[in-house]
């Protein structure tokens, strides 16, 4: 039986961001090509058979992105983005989170199943300038490509835009047995897809570029590299692709429509490999794909595009022939039964611009919007009420869990949505049904991952609870946040304006 090769993007074309009134098209850079930066692996402070110790430091710096002046940027253990952190399944992690920035931040482990809200690192886990927060957790989830990013509501978008986004890789014995490339930096390559606009002296200006529907820039930035190339020295490459942009969707294809095979999504390896020539990722989604360059000749270049703009040029060198074939079945995905007598939870994402909300409300840090018992398996129906003609795809993300996508408007999900996910793009007028189970207690956020939308209030909170061990949590409040940031910036609270506040002000609402 011949397997299908999917040649289209699945998502509803009228809702592509190319139709946005504020759409910023990508432009091919006119600067010289440069080698793709590969984020180095973060070296543990200490490691034993059962425990690993890391220090993750948020810091300000400068990065040479374009010819001329360096760009002021933020990063983890470096000037921009982050060093890649490896979490081995079954081991206990001990992490010091240090803030050397001039203002408070948080460290959110996107896709990691850990207790909330403090270990998870949302807005309730601030780390103040010059301070360190320590967290400990045991890694208990399948191998996957996850990421770390700042999440200090309501300035998450600005801090990610400044560069606070890095990769975290979970490894396990099951994935290690699969015939995937895994020589990091050689044939196992991360691709963090972002976009920026460069202003005077090569600087970024978030306020100048601000759009409540998501900040975009015309220049693609891949792993913090402008106009990159990569020297291919093996026949097969594994690309770990992250849509790390604030707003942009990426519609990916290779020159000559070279096929590639997706083997993993947000939460890890998928049950079966899926072959594509065209793949679309919405904000925060990840896809691990394997590309076979066996038909390319040394000296040729194979280019990865988003729409019609080159992102990465793969320069083909001599390599040994590789006849490795992927099995038709990769892993078994557990599919637990829904807990009896639990109603279907309805979540409604509505609005655009400053009007974005979840369930008709804007986010409040002190409000718990829902509760779910730890261990229960429940169905959630997530609806996007935007109009198809003028609306947008809203990527729905949940903290603290990986869910299963069951259907789209009652029909089968996309072919690459049969594994674990923490983010799913929901088309206008569509309801996506997901199966949700929390393994840890805590307060977790769920929201649109167009980051300006979450800052603007398209976010809510759920408490995962254990009735036999009730807990209380100290939740961040807006007054404490405003006072702290105003003090850090040396201004009066009345003069402070954080990204996202305008969405509340224009709706006449208090944060």
Q: 196 and 133: one domain?
A: no
Q: 21 and 166: one domain?
A: yes
Taking a C-beta distance cutoff of 8 angstroms, is the pair 283, 243 a contact?
yes
**pLDDT grade, residue 7 (50/70/90)?**
very high
Task: Name the nearest CA neighbour of 212 among 269, 158, 160, 173.
Answer: 158
∠ Cα 303 309 312 (to 5°): 35
Q: 192 and 171: one domain?
A: no
Q: Considering Cα of 494, then 162, then 358, then 23, what sign does the dihedral take? A: positive
d(CA 501, CA 508): 11
Q: Is residue 6 domain-resident? A: no
Q: 199 and 162: one domain?
A: no
> Residues of the chain with pLDDT > 70: what percent?
100
Paired tokens of 327? 């099995």
Task: Name the nearest CA neighbour of 184 among 266, 228, 239.
Answer: 239
**pLDDT grade, residue 145 (50/70/90)?**
very high
CATH number at residue 272: 2.60.40.420
Residue 204 three-state SS = coil
Q: 207 and 291: one domain?
A: yes
Total Cβ atoms within 10 A of residue 383: 20
Residue range 52-63: average pLDDT? 98
Interval 112-137: pLDDT, tens: 999 999 999 999 999 999 999 999 99
Q: Is residue 158 domain-resident? A: yes
Paired tokens of 294? 């066996």
- Residue where one domain finishes, among candidates 246, 281, 316: 316
Q: Is residue 381 domain-resident? A: no
Transcribe 337-362 into DSSP letters: PPPTT-PPEEEEEE-SGGG-EETTB-
Q: 57 and 203: one domain?
A: no
- Mean pLDDT score across all residues of the chain: 96
Q: Is residue 80 domain-resident? A: yes
Q: 170 and 194: one domain?
A: no
d(CA 422, CA 416): 13
Q: Is residue 222 domain-resident? A: yes
Interval 484-497: pLDDT, tens: 999 999 999 888 88
How many structural domains is the chain composed of? 2
* pLDDT score recorded for residue 507: 80
- Residue where one domain finishes, among candidates 125, 143, 176: 176
pLDDT at 468 over 80: yes
Paired tokens of 414? 């996309």
Q: Is residue 87 domain-resident? A: yes
* pLDDT score recorded for residue 502: 84
Taking a C-beta distance cutoff of 8 angstroms, is the pair 275, 3 a contact?
yes
Beta strand 71-76 with 345-350 is unpaired
Q: 120 and 92: one domain?
A: yes
Q: Is residue 402 domain-resident? A: no
Q: 70 and 152: one domain?
A: yes
Q: 34 and 144: one domain?
A: yes
**pLDDT grade, residue 2 (50/70/90)?**
low
Helical segments of 359-494, H only: 451-455, 478-489
Q: 204 and 157: one domain?
A: no
What is the extent of the structural domain holding 223? 188-316
Q: Is residue 369 domain-resident? A: no
Taking a C-beta distance cutoff of 8 angstroms, is the pair 404, 333 a contact?
yes
- Residue where one domain finishes, among candidates 176, 199, 220: 176
Q: 263 and 172: one domain?
A: no
**pLDDT grade, residue 1 (50/70/90)?**
very low
List C-alpha distances in Å: 214 to 308, 424, 458, 459.
Answer: 21, 17, 12, 15
Total Cβ atoms within 10 A of residue 425: 28
């Amino acid at each position: 039986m011949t397997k299908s090769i999917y040649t289209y993007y699945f998502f509803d074309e009228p809702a592509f961001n190319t139709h946005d009134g504020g759409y910023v098209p990508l432009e091919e850079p006119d600067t010289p090509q440069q080698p793709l930066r590969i984020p180095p692996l973060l070296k543990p402070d200490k490691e034993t058979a059962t425990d690993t110790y890391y220090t993750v430091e948020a810091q300000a710096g400068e990065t040479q992105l374009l010819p001329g002046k360096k760009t002021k940027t933020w990063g983890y253990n470096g000037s921009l983005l982050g060093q890649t952190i490896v979490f081995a399944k079954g081991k206990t992690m001990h992490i010091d989170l240090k803030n050397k920035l001039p203002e408070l931040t948080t460290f959110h482990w996107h896709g990691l199943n850990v207790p909330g809200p403090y270990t998870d690192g949302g807005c309730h886990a601030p780390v103040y300038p010059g301070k360190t927060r320590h967290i400990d957790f045991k890694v208990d989830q399948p191998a996957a490509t996850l990421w770390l990013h700042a999440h200090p509501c309501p300035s998450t978008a600005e801090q990610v835009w400044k560069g606070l986004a890095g990769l975290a890789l979970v490894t396990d014995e099951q994935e290690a047995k699969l015939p995937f490339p895994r020589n990091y930096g050689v044939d196992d390559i991360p691709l963090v897809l972002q976009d920026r606009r460069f202003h005077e002296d090569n600087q970024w200006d978030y306020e100048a570029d601000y759009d409540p529907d998501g900040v975009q820039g015309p220049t693609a930035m891949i792993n913090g590299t402008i106009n990159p190339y990569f020297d291919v020295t093996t026949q097969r490459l594994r690309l770990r692709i992250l849509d790390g942009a604030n707003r942009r969707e990426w519609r990916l294809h290779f020159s000559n429509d070279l096929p590639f095979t997706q083997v993993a999504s947000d939460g890890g390896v998928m049950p079966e490999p899926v072959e594509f020539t065209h793949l679309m990722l919405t904000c925060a989604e990840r896809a691990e794909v394997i590309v076979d360059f066996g038909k390319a000749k040394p000296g040729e270049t194979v280019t990865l595009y988003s729409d019609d703009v080159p992102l990465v040029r793969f320069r083909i060198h001599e390599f040994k022939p590789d006849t490795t074939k992927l099995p038709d079945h990769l892993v078994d995905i557990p599919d637990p039964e829904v807990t009896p007598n639990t109603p279907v939870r309805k979540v409604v994402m509505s609005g655009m611009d400053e009007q974005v909300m979840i369930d008709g409300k804007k986010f409040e840090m002190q409000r718990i919007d829902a509760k779910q018992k730890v261990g229960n398996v429940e169905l959630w129906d997530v609806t996007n009420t935007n109009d198809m003609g003028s609306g947008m795809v809203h990527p729905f993300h949940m903290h603290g869990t990986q869910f299963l996508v069951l259907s789209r408007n009652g029909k089968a999900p996309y072919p690459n949505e049969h594994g674990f996910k923490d983010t799913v793009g929901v088309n206008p007028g569509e309801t996506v049904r997901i199966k949700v189970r929390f393994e840890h207690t805590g307060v977790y956020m769920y929201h649109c991952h167009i980051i300006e939308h979450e800052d603007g209030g398209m976010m809510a909170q759920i408490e995962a609870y254990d009735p036999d061990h009730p807990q209380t949590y100290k939740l961040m409040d807006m007054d404490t946040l405003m006072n702290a940031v105003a003090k850090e910036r040396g201004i009066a609270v009345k003069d402070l304006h954080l990204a996202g506040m305008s969405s509340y002000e224009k709706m006449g609402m208090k944060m």
